[in-house]
């Protein structure tokens, strides 16, 4: 059994990275991991679905944070997918025999220890496996809602959660650190993360991502007023509340976490502008919280006439946030360019 330093955190991928780093005797805070790894993202693709709803995400694709982090900090990261379940399990077992803690991306719908109210067909949850005895695997899950997060699952369950039948299947996704440099260039990483995040949010290749995706969601929500009946509107808004406030974001769609990254980044780089922008982003995060609260109030109403806010007003709140973030990331990009 690997002596693995399990601790629960805000976000599953950050937590997996943080604890794997601690295993290798490196200390790096969750906000720095999130920011250097360019964890802020936004996606809205109306013609794709997730759990029966239009695809909306406030996080990048699985393992992206670790890949971005590794690229700039000089970490040799191993990551692969599998076509064969047998090969995927064999590789996991071989790495554990070498005392290597192994990160996995899994589907949460079949995780037996996962809280029922948080389960769903989500293929992007990150866990770390740190041991095996007989038919059981020892798992570190940093989800803060779990009582402890050190879990045990069977080999059959492990095989099931690593593969699903839909197009977004994790396909046995597996990752681990092969080699770490003697020193981590944290300041260089901070500016890399800021530069990449600003580019992704302000200048995405397609209109479904970044700030463009946020404006698109606002326009789509305007259409929901005439496209959906009252029950459908409530269901779609409840799904957005779950994504923005409950599904591993730590609240406000990760904006509070990124604000803390900027504050810590200001201390490392001695750039006071980052601390000022950190406060600005906290204000935007509060706008996210308010929008989620208004959406939740809408879902609690028994009929449209008693709603304290209309769907069109909620759509305008989304537009207001998009405009605020556009200005924010433009200012952040200017700080990075002048550094």
Mean pLDDT, range 281-302, rounded to an integer: 95
Instruction: Indicate the SS3 state at residue 92.
Output: helix
- Domain check: are 201 and 114 in the same one? no
pLDDT in tens, 138-194: 999 998 888 999 999 999 999 999 998 877 789 999 999 999 999 999 999 999 999
Does 66 map to a domain?
no
Q: Which of 155, 179, 203 finishes a domain?
A: 179
Write down how long the chain is. Answer: 339
Residue 57 lies in a domain: no
Q: What is the pTM of this model?
A: 0.93
Do 221 and 311 lie in a common domain? Answer: yes
pLDDT of residue 248: 63
What contacts 170, CB < 8 A, 6 or more positions away?
A: 62, 81, 104, 105, 106, 107, 123, 124, 162, 163, 164
Choose one of 121, 152, 179: the last residue of a domain. 179
From CA 321, how far away is CA 287, in angstroms rounded? 7
Q: Does residue 243 share a domain with residue 283?
A: yes
CA distance linking residue 295 with residue 63, whole number of Å:
30
CATH of residue 132's domain is 3.90.70.10
Return the biggest CA–CA distance within the chain: 63
Give percent of the chain with pLDDT exceeding 70: 98
With contact defined as beta carbons under 8 Å apart, do 58 and 44 qualify? no
144 shares its domain with 252:
no
pLDDT score, position 245: 87
At 249 the pLDDT is 66
Answer yes or no: do 202 and 325 share one domain: yes
Both 191 and 175 in one domain: the answer is no
Distance in angstroms (rounded) separating the CA atoms of residues 71 and 194: 14
291 and 202 fall within a common domain: yes
> How does DSSP classify residue 128?
E
Mean pLDDT within 288-309: 92
Q: Answer whether residue 58 is part of any domain.
A: no
Q: Is position 26 within any domain?
A: yes
The position carrying tokens 């046995």 is 172
Domain boundary among 164, 179, 194: 179
Domain carrying residue 130? 12-36+76-179
In a domain, 253, yes or no: yes
Same domain, 226 and 306: yes
Residue at 63 is within a domain:
no
Which is it for the CA torsion 37, 34, 259, 317, positive or negative? Answer: positive
Cα separations in angstroms, 104 against 80, 131, 202, 298, 302? 10, 13, 31, 37, 42
Average pLDDT, the chain: 93
Same domain, 218 and 307: yes
Dist CA 113 CA 149 (whole Å)? 9
How many domains does the chain divide into? Answer: 2
Gyration radius from the chain CA atoms: 20
Tell whether 70 is covered by a domain: no
Q: Same domain for 211 and 158?
A: no
Q: Is residue 45 part of a domain?
A: no
* pLDDT, tens digit (0-9, with 9 covering 90-100), for 31-79: 999 999 999 999 999 988 776 788 898 989 999 999 999 999 999 999 9
- Domain check: are 161 and 196 in the same one? no
Residues 151 and 203 in one domain: no
């Amino acid at each position: 059994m690997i002596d693995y330093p399990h601790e629960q955190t805000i976000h599953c991928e950050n937590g997996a990275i943080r604890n794997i780093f601690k295993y290798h005797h490196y200390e790096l805070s969750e906000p720095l991991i999130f920011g250097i790894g360019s964890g802020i993202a936004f996606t809205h693709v109306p013609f794709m679905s997730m759990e029966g709803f239009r695809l909306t995400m406030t996080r990048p694709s699985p393992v992206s944070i670790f890949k971005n982090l590794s690229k700039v900090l000089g970490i040799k990261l191993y990551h692969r997918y599998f076509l064969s379940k047998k090969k995927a399990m064999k590789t996991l077992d071989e790495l554990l025999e070498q005392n290597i803690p192994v990160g996995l991306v899994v589907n949460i719908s079949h995780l037996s220890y996962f809280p029922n109210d948080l389960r769903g067909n989500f293929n992007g949850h990150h866990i770390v496996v740190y041991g095996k005895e007989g038919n059981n695997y020892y798992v570190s899950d940093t989800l803060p809602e779990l009582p402890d997060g050190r879990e045990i699952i069977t080999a059959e369950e492990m095989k099931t959660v690593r593969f699903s039948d839909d197009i977004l299947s994790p396909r046995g996704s597996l990752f681990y650190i092969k080699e770490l440099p003697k020193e981590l260039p944290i300041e260089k990483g901070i500016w890399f993360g800021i530069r990449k995040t600003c580019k992704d949010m302000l200048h995405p290749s397609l209109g479904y991502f970044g700030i463009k995706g946020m404006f698109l969601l606002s326009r789509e929500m305007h259409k929901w007023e005439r496209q959906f009946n009252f029950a459908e509107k409530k269901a779609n808004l409840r799904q957005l509340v779950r994504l923005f406030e409950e599904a591993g974001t730590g609240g406000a769609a990760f904006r509070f976490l990124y604000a803390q990254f900027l504050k810590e980044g200001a201390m490392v780089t001695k750039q006071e502008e980052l601390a000022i922008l950190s406060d600005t982003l906290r204000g935007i995060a509060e706008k996210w919280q308010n929008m989620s609260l208004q959406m939740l109030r809408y879902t609690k109403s028994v009929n449209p006439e008693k709603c304290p806010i209309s769907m069109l007003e909620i759509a305008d709140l989304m537009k207001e946030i998009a405009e605020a973030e556009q200005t924010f990331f433009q200012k952040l990009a200017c700080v990075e360019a002048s550094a």
